[in-house]
Amino acid sequence: MIYLDAAATTPVRREVLEAMWPYLTGEFGNASSHHELGARAKDALEDARASVASVLGCRPSEVVFTSGGTESDNLAVKGLVLPMIAGATPAAAAETARVHVAVSSIEHAAVLESARYLQRWHGVDVTELPVNSGGLVSVEELDAYLSAKSAAGYSKGLVSIMYANNEVGTVQDISALSAVAHHYGALFHTDAVQAAGWLSLDVSQLGVDALSISGHKLGAPKGCGVLFASRAVTLEPIINGGGQERGLRSGTEGVANAVGIATALTLAETEREATSRRMTELRNGFLSRVRELVPSVVLTGLEPAEGNRLPNNASLILPGFNGESVLLELERRGVICSSGSACAAGSTDPSHVLIAMGISEDDARTAIRFSLPSTITAEDLERAATLLSQSIVHLANLRLR
């Protein structure tokens, strides 16, 4: 099997499993318990928090452990906006009308649906910012949007724009976008789930108030995540209970998962620059070979030469061929990839990301995404390109029968 769906998930790294193992076995204490076993679990939890903070360039107290990227996004978007809403009185309703949220039109569903929840249940003004044909949000358009909101009396707001897109790999200029948001007094959150391991996560350089990460994209298990939340912001918890994670995320702490994601993140950061260079070369070679074998293929997002693209992403449309049919043919030949976000699997609707980028519904339904794991080889990719060509020829022949 040639696995080319790393944007969906990655296997747990051996180093991560070994780091977690003690906290799944003998060191099984509850980190909130006031005895020796609990104290050791608490120490491991705080060591993991410090490790994550070191990668992010923040204080350990600004790191919140969650169940994954979706929860981190929900906590960021809802948790940052809810304190802006005064309550349910008529006067408060008027204040709510001056709270706005801006998200890009290519966000993950966790961000989009969190914003829509605030719109449905709290009357928050929500705007989906457009992107260009490469999937980029314009700094100038964000400035114009925020200027108009400020002139209209919107005194509080949040901008949430993902660092790197999960389908087409487009990387946003987060530092420039966050600077514009702060100029108008808005908070800024970025979903960095796909960026982690490939791009710098230094929150001071990015200028963000909150940042979301998911462990299973990095070689940690599914079910663990991180939210960076600046100490300068007020964050309302969305899971209530015993007050763990400094009251921001109640529930018995998953010590093993915290150790796992901290280990995976530290390893990924240590290897990041060398891995990114190697994967860029491999991806470019793969894309070049695919274009030779299947001349009709069209890359979605930005060309690698333009920069601003994840080094392991190649998202393609194959005009005239159903993307799901191509995926099935590839799987039959031993190549695993996807048609877009794993969270949208089973949907018959075309990708909202591709539609937002101006691709027609017909073409969007032909899309396939290759996201390369760091363990892939040039030989694997040569084989995958050949098998893609064979799949296309096979499907074309079926149509002629």
Q: H or E element: which one contains 117?
A: helix 109-122
Please name which of 321, 342, 256, 399 lies closest in space to residue 8, comparing C-alpha atoms: 342
What are the angstrom distances between the C-alpha of 155 and each of 88, 146, 147, 270?
Answer: 18, 10, 11, 41
Task: Mark out the alpha helices in 192-254 (DSSP H runs).
Answer: 203-206
What single-letter DSSP state applies at residue 165? -
Active site includes 343?
yes
From the CA atom positions of the chain, what is the Rg in Å?
A: 22
Q: Which residue has the tokens 């120490």?
A: 43
The answer to whether residues 312 and 6 touch, using CB atoms and an 8 Å cutoff, is: yes
Strand 210-214's sheet: what is its strand order? 63-66, 225-229, 210-214, 187-191, 156-160, 99-104, 125-129
* Residues with a known catalytic role: 343
